[in-house]
Amino acid sequence: MSPLNISAAQAYSPMALQAAAAAAANQATSRTVYMGNLPQSAAVDELLNLIKFGPIENVRILGEKSCAFISFLDGQTAAAFHTDATLKKVSLHGAELKIGWGKPSPVPPQVLLAVQQNNATRNVYLGGLDESTTEAMLRDDLSRFGLIDQIKIVKDKGIGFVHFLSIAVAQKVVATLPTEPAWAGKRVNYGKDRCAFQPKTTQAAQAAVQVAAQSLAAAAGSPLPGFGFGGFGGYDPSSPMPGTPASAMALMAAVNGGMSPGGGAVMNRTVYLGNIHPETSTEDLCNAIRGGVLQSIKYMTDKHIAFITFIDPAAAFTFFQVATYQGLTLNNRRLKVGWGKTSGPLTPALALAVHSGATRNVYIGGIEDFEQFNEDRLKRDFMEYGDIELVNYLKEKNCAFVNFTNIANAIKAIEGIKAKPEYGSLRVAHGKDRCANPPRTTGGAGGANNGGGPSPTRKMTAPTINVSGFSPTIGNDEGDEVNEAEVAALAAVVEQELAAEGAALG
């Protein structure tokens, strides 16, 4: 009898999310799931066919005890699988499997390093195979390294994939085969773990996390998450997977609308990014961040880490989910993703400003002389209000954008710049934060610039007007073509709004 496969993972219902979060919190340091009552007739690949969460770090089969222990790379993934398997009552060869927890253990340091630096998995990719190569031949040759889960060969492309039961074994294979004469001229690298489910389209993945984020907001009972929320969490750099325990707590808090000691609802808005390449700039990070308006970005270059604080905790959760399960790579280095310490609720003044359209991006329109208002001039005039992430221009539309690293500094800058006589003839307002654009539909965990780095030629997207309040919000994004007609139309709307603002103010 064929095994009953778990269907492709989709966005959890609030109940399933709550169960996963509770499991993650209660087993914050455990990344191993116990599976018992295995039929003696079942093969290991049939068992792993049931798992659509990953990647998997190690599989340990105890045939004499009819059980297996599946170790993931982090506790949150383990908790998600544990909950899914428990709720769906998975079966193999007609026998319902028992689901439990294994003993907590850290990821082996050498495995963790290989995952972070080389995107290592338990799947070994083999390229340049001869037409005569068979699965049996590969199994006979590669079984010397360790137990094998599954072998697949794509003959018309001359490639193959060998899934081992652990990343450590795959590391040995990738390191050893290129040194052997029989494998000279062939390509050996890591492939995607077949258990690491990914929707067929990026849009499906985005839809799933958006639904999850909306469920969280609904569960928290707030129509406008981010205003008046406290929070807890915290980043623990000593953790084997930094951010994992905090993420479990934050996830549970997000789902449950957990209570702080003072009785307030708890949601985290700050995401931790680690393992950042030394050559990565703040601009690079912002090009990679999508899904929500930022309150601030704090990049600690000496420690190669950053803390990204969103306005909306649901947006922070969505970004965390996408970055965790799709991967986020900059300068050929996969970033660590975790939860940072909560920054607390927005202040009433900042919440009101955001509701009226405030962002960290400042738009300067009506520029006729770009020599007078060149990049150096704008940086010099605006840097007195705070750190600047990026200055860019749309010269054909006579405008420029100054992106700060903190929304509060952008608010101060608009107030201060408007008071300068030399800027009296220019239009100064909040622009659209490009980090609020939807996640990109291209790139992946292994890409050199996953998440949206700029193209070699900088271009601007059509502006988007935020009609809430009197602050026109004008969008810019790197690497996208500009829609000239839409730019012209929206620029006219901007002028009308600014004229209306002037009339209203008397």
CB 113 within 8 A of CB 275: no
Q: Using one digit for the tens of pLDDT, what is the confidence trace for 298-338?
A: 999 999 999 999 998 888 888 898 888 888 999 989 999 99
Between 20-24, 212-216, 450-454, the lowest mean confidence (pLDDT) is in 450-454
* 226 and 289 assigned to the same domain: yes
Q: Structural domain of residue 46, as residue ranges?
A: 14-105
State the alpha helices, DSSP H only, in 153-243.
167-176, 202-220
* 335 and 372 assigned to the same domain: no
* 417 and 488 assigned to the same domain: yes
Q: Is residue 441 part of a domain?
A: no
Average pLDDT over residues 112-136: 93
Q: Is residue 470 part of a domain?
A: yes
Which residues are 407's β-sheet partners? none
* 181 and 223 assigned to the same domain: no
Q: Using one digit for the tens of pLDDT, what is the confidence trace for 66-116?
A: 999 999 998 888 888 888 888 888 999 999 999 999 999 999 999 999 998
Average pLDDT over residues 43-47: 95
Residue 80: what pLDDT? 81
SS3 assignment, position 363: strand
Residue 352: what pLDDT? 78
Residue 282: what pLDDT? 94
* Residue 167 pLDDT exceeds 90: yes
* 226 and 139 assigned to the same domain: no
- Rounded to whole angstroms, how far apart are CA atoms 147 and 44? 10
Domain endpoint, select from 163, 190, 217: 190
CATH classification at residue 334: 3.30.70.330
* 63 and 96 assigned to the same domain: yes
Instruction: Tell me the range of 2-6, 369-373, 405-409, 449-453 where mean pLDDT is highest.
Output: 405-409
* Residue 188 pLDDT exceeds 90: yes
Q: Is residue 6 part of a domain?
A: no
Domain count, the chain: 4
In this structure, the number of other CB atoms found within 10 A of the CB of residue 180 comes to 11
Residue 459: what pLDDT? 33
Q: Is residue 354 part of a domain?
A: no
- Rounded to whole angstroms, how far apart are CA atoms 445 and 399? 35
Percentage with pLDDT > 90 across the chain: 46
Residue 197: what pLDDT? 63
Q: Model's pTM, two decimal places?
A: 0.44
* Residue 256 pLDDT exceeds 50: no
Domain endpoint, select from 76, 105, 134: 105
Residue 499: what pLDDT? 52
* Structure tokens, 11: 């966005």
Q: Using one digit for the tens of pLDDT, what is the confidence trace for 455-471?
A: 333 333 333 323 222 23
* Residue 241 pLDDT exceeds 60: no
**Among candidate residues 53, 122, 44, the one with its CA nearest the CA of residue 82:** 53
* Residue 214 pLDDT exceeds 50: no
Alpha-carbon distances, residue 306 vs 151, 174, 226, 282, 297 (angstroms) = 40, 32, 21, 9, 7
Q: Is residue 447 part of a domain?
A: no
Residue 440: what pLDDT? 63
* 218 and 180 assigned to the same domain: no
* 267 and 334 assigned to the same domain: yes
Helix axes 244-256, 14-26, angle to 10 degrees: 140
* Structure tokens, 4: 């009953």
Within the chain, what is the greatest distance between any pair of CA atoms?
Answer: 85
* 33 and 84 assigned to the same domain: yes
Q: What share of the chain is helix, strand, coil (3-state, %, to 5)?
A: 35, 20, 40
Q: Is residue 448 part of a domain?
A: no
Q: For residues 492 and 418, which has the higher predicted lDDT (pLDDT)?
A: 418
Q: For residues 52 and 35, which has the higher predicted lDDT (pLDDT)?
A: 35
* 130 and 97 assigned to the same domain: no
Residue 441: what pLDDT? 52
* Residue 245 pLDDT exceeds 70: no
CB 271 within 8 A of CB 310: yes
Residue 334: what pLDDT? 92
* 164 and 214 assigned to the same domain: no
* 364 and 395 assigned to the same domain: yes
Q: Is residue 8 part of a domain?
A: no
Average pLDDT over residues 200-224: 42
The secondary structure element, H or E, covering residue 391 is: strand 388-394
DSSP assigned state of 400: E
* Residue 257 pLDDT exceeds 80: no
Which residues are 62's β-sheet partners? 67
Domain endpoint, select from 170, 190, 210: 190
**Which residues, in sequence order, are CB contacts of 188 under 8 Å at separation 6+?**
124, 125, 126, 127, 173, 174, 177, 178
Q: Return the HEC string of 281-343.
A: CHHHHHHHCCCCCEEEEEEECCCCEEEEEECCHHHHHHHHHHHHHHCCEECCEECEEEECCCC
Beta strands 474-475; 427-432: pairing state: parallel
Residue 98: what pLDDT? 95
Q: Is residue 5 part of a domain?
A: no
Between 247-256, 282-291, 417-426, the lowest mean confidence (pLDDT) is in 247-256
